[in-house]
Structure 1
Amino acid sequence: MDASQSVARLARPDITLAVCRGACRLMRQTGRSVLRELPLPDGRRADIMAIAGSGELTIVEVKSSIEDWRVDQKWPDYLAWCDLLYFAVPVDFPQALIAEEVGLIVADAYGAEILRHPLRRTVAAARRKALLIDCARLACERLARLEDPEFVDFA
């Protein structure tokens, strides 16, 4: 069975999880730290926020199917919150749908490959600082909940 047949057998949530896992592995291989499901100040949520040692912010949005792509056409909103924006898609996704100004990653559960790099933008320093603080606080909170799952926050 080829890769496109195996992807077709998976349910959409499983495809999303597989593509996300592969994209996260790729980001880590490129020296970035990864935080999934990051709420952004404008109410959007980044599937993957990857942070380089330099503070460079990369958002990777995962699209598991054409339907997933069509219902979420607010992707330009992410541009204000990152230096680089990629879409990660499964192997059988029609890549021509992805706008030329954003990056393109093809991924499965085992890894990923960058097919196209995005245009680089620069996040304003104050916004970058605020996002880095948000990322740090969320990561700390998630780690604390793993270490103490019975903790009750009364704040």
Structure 2
Amino acid sequence: MKLKLDFDDLADDFFDNTRLLGIVASVKNYQFCWQLNQLLRYDFRINNEIEIQLYKKSRNYYFSIFEYREPTTSLVHYLYHNQYDGEYLLPEFKHLDFLWLLKGDIVAEDFMQQLVTGIRSLSPVQLVTELTNEKIKNKGHLIF
């Protein structure tokens, strides 16, 4: 008997009750996190244990993920850097610099709007847009 992993089910479970933002901001990831932490009073920190590693063109590419856990809820914020050395975590969104995944709790619409407004107020940010699961071809790349 062969057991087969169903990656579609895995992805569906991972993305259940998540919200995903795409952000264009021409700034280093650690500088962006510092600005977000100052503005939103968050505490984004790099989490090397969940870094995404992709193997393309006979070499490895590493995509860092910064993490912030809301202190009073089960909501966790993950900030992915979409680009590493000319490769993209989500190649269908090459124009995006960062991907912000909210996971672990239901996110209210008013909270989401406040968050988007806050992110947009940062000077290096040119665009913030919500991405729907249907638009993401390589959603498996976001699973850690």
- TM-score past 0.5 threshold: no
What TM-score do the two structures reach when normalised by structure 2? 0.31
Higher helix share: 1
Structure with max Cα Rg? 1
Higher strand share: 2
Answer 1 or 2: higher relative contact order, Cα 8 Å, separation at least 6: 2
